[in-house]
């Protein structure tokens, strides 16, 4: 019988369980034309929304879009990623509900599906069982994986991913059960009605600009799978594909320190840099920690990080570039 991981050792659990052999045999790509049509339509609306933002969209609508984009990114980074996928910290019920609402505004899969796919990504990183395998090229890892049927290996090994904690989470199961009406309303209906009702924005402006906000959020998160696996340095582990990419950190509010993240996936900061302008997600977690809503924040110790750099780094790491004040507080130190 497969052992159950305790609350603080999910990553170690996945390392302890023998990983099945993943076939690297290429297979025929099957395009999902419905998805191609939907995402093509999204991009057409978004491009028109970009044009309208310079010609007729009102400032309150633009400000609302920026707020919703920020909330959607934070929901994905703080919630689906660091909290629910990696359990890098714990959150009380109000914070979990808030983050679930934010992920619904993002509408990038339910958090249930996001967690499942992300745990697949870490357990079978850059193999055919990885949903967005970077070895299949930039376009595939960025957005192509959303437009074709899943690889046979991903389907075969999907049941090897631990999901009991997600199944027992009522917040995530509520979102999964009511995904279409709940997420559809928060992402596509309410953000359009607010500008129309409160400051007389036209439907055309409100709709197209909201789709622009939505699709920018999609590309921001997808940049982690593409840019942060292909373009950058590997100061912590040169043997894996994920890289450090500051540009990705800017558009994802702190998720571009990807070589660090794959080296220390349990770290709530998802990067060696702590609470600063390049990692707004960490700053927000720290804010909620001060309120007592986030707690048991886990992070890799300085000694563990330094040992990993010496053992597997590519030699690009410069200690003097990391200010001690940027490293973040060490609430709980664990390491391999």
One digit per residue, the tens of pLDDT, for the chain of length 336 reads 344 555 445 555 555 456 777 878 888 899 999 999 999 999 999 999 999 999 999 999 999 999 999 999 999 999 999 999 999 999 999 999 999 999 999 999 999 999 999 999 999 999 999 999 999 999 999 999 999 999 999 999 988 899 999 999 999 999 999 999 999 999 999 999 999 999 999 999 999 999 999 999 999 999 999 999 999 999 999 999 999 999 999 999 999 999 999 999 999 999 987 657 789 999 999 999 999 999 999 999 999 999 999 999 998 887 655 555 455 444 343 333
Residue 246 domain-assigned? Answer: yes
d(CA 227, CA 258): 10
Residues 159 and 94 in one domain: yes
Say whether both 66 and 201 belong to one domain.
Answer: yes
User: What gap in Å lies between CA 291 and CA 193, rounded to an integer?
Assistant: 32
Whole-prediction pTM: 0.90
- Of 225, 246, 262, the position where a domain reaches its end is 225
Q: Which of 199, 225, 251 is where one domain is finished?
A: 225
Residues 44 and 171 in one domain: yes
* Residues 168 and 186 occupy one common structural domain: yes
220 and 242, same domain (yes or no): no
Tell whether 210 is covered by a domain: yes
Are 138 and 213 within one domain?
yes
Whether residue 12 is contained in a domain is answered as no
Strands 294-295 vs 90-91: parallel, antiparallel or unpaired: antiparallel
69 and 122 in one domain?
A: yes
Domain extent at residue 170: 29-225
User: Which of 169, 201, 225 is where one domain is finished?
Assistant: 225
Residue at 310 is within a domain: yes
In a domain, 45, yes or no: yes
Indicate if 128 and 258 belong to the same structural domain.
no
Look at residue 11 and tell me if it is in a domain. no
């Amino acid at each position: 019988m497969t052992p159950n991981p305790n609350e603080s050792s999910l990553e170690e659990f996945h390392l302890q369980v023998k990983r099945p052999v993943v076939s690297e045999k290429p297979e025929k790509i099957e395009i999902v034309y419905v998805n191609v049509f939907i995402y093509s339509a999204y991009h057409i609306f978004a491009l028109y929304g970009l044009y309208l933002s310079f010609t007729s969209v009102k400032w309150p609508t633009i400000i609302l879009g920026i707020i919703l984009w920020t909330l959607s990114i934070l929901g994905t980074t703080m919630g689906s990623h660091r909290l629910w996928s990696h359990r890098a910290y714990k959150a009380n019920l109000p914070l979990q509900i808030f983050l679930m609402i934010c992920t619904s505004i993002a509408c990038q899969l339910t958090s249930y599906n996001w967690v499942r796919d992300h745990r697949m990504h870490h357990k079978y990183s850059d193999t055919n069982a990885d949903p967005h395998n970077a070895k299949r090229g930039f376009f595939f890892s960025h957005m192509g994986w959303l437009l074709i049927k899943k690889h046979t290996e991903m389907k075969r090994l999907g049941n090897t991913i631990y999901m009991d904690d997600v199944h027992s989470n009522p917040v995530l199961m509520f979102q999964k059960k009511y995904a279409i009406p709940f997420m559809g309303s928060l992402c596509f209906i309410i953000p359009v009605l607010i500008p129309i009702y409160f400051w007389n924005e036209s439907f055309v402006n409100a709709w197209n600009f909201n789709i622009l906000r939505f699709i920018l959020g999609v590309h921001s998160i997808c940049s982690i799978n593409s840019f942060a696996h292909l373009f950058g340095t590997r100061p912590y582990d040169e043997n894996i594909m994920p890289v450090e990419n500051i540009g990705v950190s800017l558009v994802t509010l702190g998720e571009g320190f990807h070589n660090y993240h794959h080296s220390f996936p349990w770290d709530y900061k998802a990067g060696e840099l702590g609470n600063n302008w390049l990692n707004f997600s960490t700053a927000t977690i720290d804010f909620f920690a001060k309120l007592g809503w986030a707690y048991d924040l886990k992070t890799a110790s300085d000694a563990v990080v330094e040992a990993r750099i010496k053992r597997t780094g590519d030699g690009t790491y410069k200690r003097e570039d990391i200010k001690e004040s940027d490293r973040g507080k060490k609430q709980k130190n664990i390491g391999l």
